[in-house]
A and B are shown apart, each in its own frame.
Chain A
């Protein structure tokens, strides 16, 4: 038996097909992955993401510590905002990708990291914290629900009162607010509008059932994966790992080369950025029938690349993928699928944004 979130019984009652995910028993779907996917694109869906690891970084040197630890710069945003970033090793390889919520500019931050990398991340953070005056505290007692889709805010707000309802209705994207023992954030992993609610685990089942009664569709990890891939968002362990740098993972925009800031991995990244000949993570659209899958070989004039995540896109009705290809590859190339070489186009993700086709041709 794996770890269980506070919502385990709710998933089972709702017909969730439970699978092991990074040591957690999680629902992969509740009947139809595709219907759940469409619910998020067209209306509202909810995901239990309580398996993710929440870590509070607090203390007089929290800001300084994070400016050393993370490739993005927490100084880029104001209090009450969130920032997406990678945590790198000295070689510039990605140890994990994460979101940081800036609660107090100097001394109070919250991070959400991947569950599969939990132990490695915590060990690395504690090692790097060395001489910094910070406390690193995991918050396993908190649950996290992600409510996503064009009607997500309206449906959730209807269940809440006062300031919580107002925040859910009005908050701009990539912000958050602490409301009593809840944290309400306008973040997500689907390419749709929506909110994420962090709350004490014991309150999660009641909120989940109320949301289900309000027409918010329970969605499993399967739909979460097709939604994030359509949104062009990377998955740790598939599209990036310790041997891949942000520049090779289409995450250059999450690296802040702020002058004088000595973040871990900076030197390696600067060398790579100057040479410019590194591989790139791009989008692929399959021409015709079939399904792109991870590890298929991409054949380009510049050399071979590899599909890192592939699926059939329920929104577009065609197969899409993220792939790592040599510098300079663009336009029409081929992918080896079993015995056949099929034509694909290299595009710039995201594939889908707010329910509509969004990619650009190269």
Chain B
């Protein structure tokens, strides 16, 4: 069973989101997603300052075997990207919920947070996928 931290919210397309006190949210891909992709070799991140809408293709994570789109789980402005992934994309494999985060977004619509899956709901989705 994949690790699914309880304090995070999830998108059905396997992104996780952590809400910060300053009104921004950190986004990454789940343990399950990184495991399914295998060894990551390249991550294409959005531009800082870019504005994204929910479910926009906002980043691409590429493993040796395939490229996979990452969708914006929330609308808003990209205020930071994880630049260390440029040289070390494997951080996403090693620490998907920590050093392997992808980008930080300033929420345009806080109601969207409530529409994301809870850890229990995401866990249930994974069980149904198996």
Residues of A within 8 A of B (CB): 28-29, 32-34, 37, 222, 225-226, 289-291, 293, 311-312, 314, 319, 338
Residues of B within 8 A of A291 (CB): 41-42, 62, 67
Given contacts A289-B42, A289-B86, A290-B44, contact A33 B64 (CB under 8 A): yes
Q: Contact at A314–B42, with CB atoms within 8 Å?
A: no
Q: Contact at B64–A293, with CB atoms within 8 Å?
A: no
Name the one of B42, B44, B60, B86 contacting A312, with C-beta atoms under 8 angstroms: B42
Instruction: List 22 A–B pairs whose Cβ atoms lie within 8 Å, in order of A's numbering.
Output: A28-B65, A32-B39, A33-B39, A33-B63, A33-B64, A34-B64, A222-B65, A226-B64, A289-B42, A290-B42, A291-B41, A291-B62, A291-B67, A293-B67, A311-B64, A311-B65, A312-B41, A312-B42, A312-B62, A312-B64, A314-B64, A338-B44
Q: Contact at B38–A222, with CB atoms within 8 Å?
A: yes
Instruction: Determine how close the nearest CB of chain B comes to the CB of A266; give it in whole angstroms.
Output: 38
Q: Contact at B38–A32, with CB atoms within 8 Å?
A: yes
Residues of B within 8 A of A338 (CB): 44, 60
Instruction: Determine how close the nearest CB of chain B comes to the CB of A131; give it in whole angstroms.
Output: 46
Instruction: Determine how close the nearest CB of chain A comes to the CB of B27; give it in whole angstroms.
Output: 19
Count, A-B residue pairs, CB within 8 A: 37
Residues of A within 8 A of B63 (CB): 33
Instruction: Determine how close the nearest CB of chain B comes to the CB of A29; give it in whole angstroms.
Output: 7
Given contacts A291-B62, A311-B64, A312-B62, contact A34 B39 (CB under 8 A): yes
Instruction: Determine how close the nearest CB of chain B comes to the CB of A280; give it in whole angstroms.
Output: 26
Residues of B within 8 A of A314 (CB): 64
Bound Cα distance A24, B62 (Å):
26
Bound Cα distance A290, B65 (Å):
13
Residues of B within 8 A of A (CB): 38-39, 41-42, 44, 60, 62-65, 67, 86
Instruction: Determine how close the nearest CB of chain A comes to the CB of B89; give it in whole angstroms.
Output: 9
Instruction: Determine how close the nearest CB of chain B comes to the CB of A321; give it in whole angstroms.
Output: 13
Bound Cα distance A37, B41 (Å):
14
Residues of B within 8 A of A37 (CB): 64
Bound Cα distance A280, B8 (Å):
51
Q: Contact at A222–B44, with CB atoms within 8 Å?
A: no
Instruction: Determine how close the nearest CB of chain B comes to the CB of A12; give it in whole angstroms.
Output: 16
Residues of A within 8 A of B42 (CB): 289-291, 312, 319
Q: Nearest 4 pairs between A and B by C-beta? A: A312-B41, A34-B39, A291-B62, A291-B42
Closest to A34 in B: B39
Closest to A32 in B: B39
Residues of B within 8 A of A225 (CB): 65
Bound Cα distance A312, B38 (Å):
13
Given contacts A226-B64, A312-B64, contact A33 B41 (CB under 8 A): no
Q: Contact at A33–B67, with CB atoms within 8 Å?
A: no
Interface centre among B44, B63, B64 (most CB of A within 10 A): B64
Residues of A within 8 A of B38 (CB): 29, 32-33, 222
Instruction: Determine how close the nearest CB of chain B comes to the CB of A110; give it in whole angstroms.
Output: 32
Bound Cα distance A293, B60 (Å):
13
Residues of B within 8 A of A312 (CB): 41-42, 62, 64
Bound Cα distance A37, B44 (Å):
24
Given contacts A32-B38, A33-B39, A289-B42, contact A222 B64 (CB under 8 A): yes
Bound Cα distance A216, B21 (Å):
51
Bound Cα distance A172, B99 (Å):
49
Instruction: Determine how close the nearest CB of chain A comes to the CB of B110; give it in whole angstroms.
Output: 30
Bound Cα distance A72, B38 (Å):
39
Bound Cα distance A289, B88 (Å):
12
Bound Cα distance A33, B36 (Å):
12
Q: Contact at B65–A33, with CB atoms within 8 Å?
A: yes
Bound Cα distance A3, B41 (Å):
32
Bound Cα distance A293, B66 (Å):
8
Residues of A within 8 A of B86 (CB): 289
Bound Cα distance A312, B66 (Å):
10
Residues of B within 8 A of A222 (CB): 38, 64-65
Bound Cα distance A222, B39 (Å):
11
Bound Cα distance A277, B44 (Å):
38
Closest to B42 in A: A291
Closest to B93 in A: A32
Bound Cα distance A32, B62 (Å):
15
Bound Cα distance A29, B37 (Å):
11
Closest to B57 in A: A338
